[in-house]
Amino acid sequence: MGVQVSVVTPGAVEADVLAVPVVEPGEPPANGVLDVRLHGRLAALVAAGEVSGELGETCVVHVENGAGAARVAAAGLGPKTAVDPDAVRTAAGAVARAASRFGGSVAWLLDPALDLPPAEQARAVVEGVLLGAYEPGRWKTNRRRPRPIERIVLVGDGPGVSEAAARAERVAEWTNRARDLANAPGNELTPERLAARAAEIADGSEHLSAEAIGPEGIDELGMGAFAAVAAGSHNPPRLIVLRYTPPGVKAGVKLGLVGKAITFDSGGISIKPSLYMEDMKGDMAGGGAVVEATGALAELGVPLEVVSVVAACENLTGGGAYRPGDILTSMSGKTIEVVNTDAEGRLVLADALWYARREGATHLLDLATLTGAMERALGDLYAGVFANDDAWRDQVVSAGEASGDHAWPLPLHRRYRRYIDSAFADMKNQSVRDQAIPAYAGEFLQEFVGDGPWAHIDMAGTGFLTWPRPDYLAQKGGTGYGVRLIVELATRLSS
């Protein structure tokens, strides 16, 4: 059951905590009703220097008969000229974490003086509260559990506020479900269990169907690259296919979503270092985002035909594991020399991309925690976007910026292809040169996308946080990156 979201006037607030946004240097919004009901308490805190408006700062105080709430939280937005949706999300996330000590309901005062339309503020507040209050430690048994936020009250009005808030609540809930998948340990979230989650989502939607293709079917399809990566594990792979066919779709457009879902990645024979290997349970974050975003599209009723293809398997060592030097035949018929078994993501995506195009996708988008070099280049804030079509790349980047799943355009060029030239096969899966790694990985994938627009999101830094981030995604682990971007992109593509 989702969190209840409502919009009220300042005189009708009833909540456990009322959040009042404050910009630096400690300027709360002017609101006659609240100023009187708070008895100057907030102004006194500002005057005393206890509230500065610094981004992410939260000061919670108890009040008597104060604006319909037992507590008031001064929520820092940072400098007024720098306030954007991320600043609002960060402030709302800080309030949500403070409120998790007592739970219940959070009210937020929309500020018409900010250079953000009220609907944009509402969307950012709801996302910030729900994503900021997320708790990854659901396997802990000896810790006081945070109390859930059950209701969000937006105080104010404006065009589209209610609609934006309600939609943001649904998308944020699906984003948190993608985080649950990324945070689940490999002994729980096997490829079969991920396929079961997709089936569960499909069972709840009239226009969504799910199929899970096992090892025999993968072999029958000629997916030699995908099958090789999966061969070292006792847990069998699954090619998960979700088909969303709502009524009234836009004619001639079918979005193909492709996700990498390595439910645990040891690196195979080219084994990874042991430090932080436990985070490799999150190597399925792209596939998890595709699964949950498809569910979000169905629940929202976005009028766009979608086929989602997720290649789910483990990359482990074992007697059946594929080896450096092996030559694989992909579903497309192209052959691949294996140079490094830890460059497995591009192998499973090669077959999944070809399958999605065969299923009639006119526009392709793949999401993958693909290269560590991308994290070194853009950190944990931006994902890199590569594409064979500039207009489609720009649409993806724009959807990312609008949604909060930030993305940055990066180049592909045919001269990068030389990095994957092989003496023995059509191509190899890695270059020994430590140059342009995300770009030549993109060039590798481009070999399998067929005709039509395609974009590749390398979300290695943004999909799973090794260290907490100082914003509304303040927890280690899965971020749900990609769910909001996909919903925004599909909505725009359907119009």
Written as tens digits, the pLDDT of the chain (495 aa) is 478 999 998 878 889 999 999 999 878 776 655 655 665 677 777 778 888 899 999 988 887 765 678 888 889 999 999 999 999 999 999 999 999 888 889 999 999 989 999 999 999 999 999 999 999 998 998 777 788 899 999 999 899 999 999 999 999 999 999 999 999 999 999 999 999 999 999 999 999 999 999 999 999 999 999 999 999 999 999 999 999 999 999 899 999 999 999 999 999 999 999 999 999 999 999 999 999 999 999 999 999 999 999 999 999 999 999 999 999 999 999 999 999 999 999 999 999 999 999 999 999 999 999 999 999 999 999 999 999 999 999 999 999 999 999 999 999 999 999 999 999 999 999 999 989 999 999 999 999 999 999 999 999 999 999 999 999 999 999 999 999 999 999 999 999
Active site residue 484: no
Q: Kind of pairing, strands 305-315 and 238-244? A: antiparallel
Q: How far apart are CA 131 and CA 474, in angstroms?
A: 9
Q: Which two tokens stand for residue 306?
A: 């979608």
The residue to which tokens 């985002």 are assigned: 289
Q: Which amino acid is at 85?
A: P
Going 4 to 9 to 13 to 15, the CA torsion angle's sign is: positive
Assign 453 to helix, strand or coil. Answer: coil
For β-strands 69-79 and 15-24, DSSP reports them as parallel
Collapsed DSSP state (helix, strand, coil) of residue 465: strand
Out of 80, 151, 193, 272, which one is annotated catalytic? Answer: 272
- Residue 33, class by beta-carbon neighbours within 10 Å (0-12 exposed, 13-18 middle, 19+ buried)? middle
Instruction: Give the integer Cα–Cα distance in Å for 75 and 91.
Output: 6
Q: What are phi and psi of 420, to 5 degrees?
A: -110, 15
Measured torsion, CA atoms of residues 77, 83, 87, 89, in degrees rounded to the nearest 10 = 100
Q: 175, 192, 251, 171: which is closest to 494 by C-alpha?
A: 251
Of 97, 197, 346, 357, catalytic:
346
| Single-letter amino acid, residue 26 | G
Buried b (16+ CB within 10 A) or exposed e, 410-426: bebeeebeebbeeeebb
Beta-carbon contacts of residue 81 (< 8 Å; ≥ 6 apart): none
Annotation marks residue 346 as catalytic: yes
